[in-house]
Chain A
């Protein structure tokens, strides 16, 4: 009898061990697969941005977008990942004593896992026993690159390449990272002090990137020919709207991966629970919730934008806006509620973009409105409907602040400032160095002819603007 019990105990241990291996490999594969899905966001932004560009500047726009992607990922490896783990409690407590109650933040913690040198290098490269660091880093690196791609489109046809790359590095490897540390980390002070909730990064990715773009736009100025002497605006059509619209649809595909990566899987050392998935805050979340709400939000946004515009560009922008408008609360909204919010987001999109243009700001793809304005809209809407919901999971200490309208408004203000101020300051400095705006004469001649040793289309394919030269 005793021998049988011992044998069964050994078998049980072996089964549990095998189940843990399966769980670990599943979790690793899950986050790994979000990475190529998020690369589709960049394929989409590339098509979107190039389609919105005139023929004479197409390849320059592509180069700008690709370099932002590449430099953001590289610099996120070198220092961006470290900021995410170092800053959650700063400035509420000092950096030296920065570890929050979850004990996964602060200078010492960040320096032990997120620097590509010294002892922490073992978690920044191939490691026999670490199935998590690389895939989490990869997902965050793609979030970082997404912020740069969001801002990139607003600036087409007149920003210098290297000047833009410097701005993209500040955005992707610092500004949004600070926002994520404060509002997308269980130790983040916006979460613990204000109950800030932003499951799908409407504020800390979209709003930060959108208002970072606005800060740059103020220093960069409009494209040559965008505004008339009396201040009225001219429409500068892109050369390939089908490319733009297809790109936008690819971004939506990528968003499913982006949002999938926002779920914390169960059963691992870094999980909130042994048997249930959660948000990054440890609150309940499932992939099924995403399936309902993301699909409905995308559809609501398209329909809302169609009502007033009848324009496929704005309908697909509405699709993005629909998802962004509910991203903060994808874990708590009911499907029909999502339809209502995303319809409204789609409807207000174009008037908001027109208002911005009326201020003399040339946002070539509507990025400030789609990502910035709608991102803040989504944060505040969650405060209206979600007040009182617990802000953190069961592992949090008693008395943890719940979601509130006040907390969401505080978060919205912080996200605006974390985007706009760094965007304005870094572009001001880059401008002072003569590296921001492409000279007007070059804009008129066409950027590709001046600085790209290749051409986008055969000579037989000409455009209105190339005809005029």
Chain B
């Protein structure tokens, strides 16, 4: 799944709790792709929403 850790045991050692992303895809290009997909979805939703709204006003 591209998660940042294989085991949590090391995190609880000294200096194991560090400043880094702890989400799926951390350290890879996946967050960027998620952002692109979410942005495209939002624009598409606005376009569809506007089309539906204009139909109501006809």
Contact = CB atoms under 8 A, between A and B. Distances in A.
Contact of B11 (A128, A130, A162): A128
Nearest to A439: B57
A435 B35 contact: no
A29 interface: no
Contacts of B21: 121-122, 125-127
B15 to A, nearest CB: 11
Contacts of A126: 21-23
B32 A118 contact: yes
A118 B21 CA distance: 11
A113 to B, nearest CB: 11
B19 A130 contact: yes
A414 B11 CA distance: 49
Given A435-B50, A439-B57, A128 B23 contact: no
A161 interface: yes
A439 B11 CA distance: 61
A450 interface: yes
Contacts of A312: none
A117 B32 contact: yes
A160 B39 CA distance: 22
A74 interface: yes
Contact of B19 (A118, A121, A124, A128): A128
B57 A121 contact: no
A117 B35 contact: yes
Contacts of A396: none
A434 B51 CA distance: 11
A451 interface: yes
Given A117-B32, A121-B31, A121-B32, A165 B46 contact: yes
Given A127-B20, A128-B11, A451 B56 contact: yes
A413 interface: no
B57 A129 contact: no
A445 B35 CA distance: 41
5 contacts: A78-B35, A128-B11, A129-B17, A162-B49, A165-B46
Pairs A-B, 6 closest by C-beta atoms: A117-B32, A129-B19, A122-B21, A121-B31, A162-B50, A451-B56
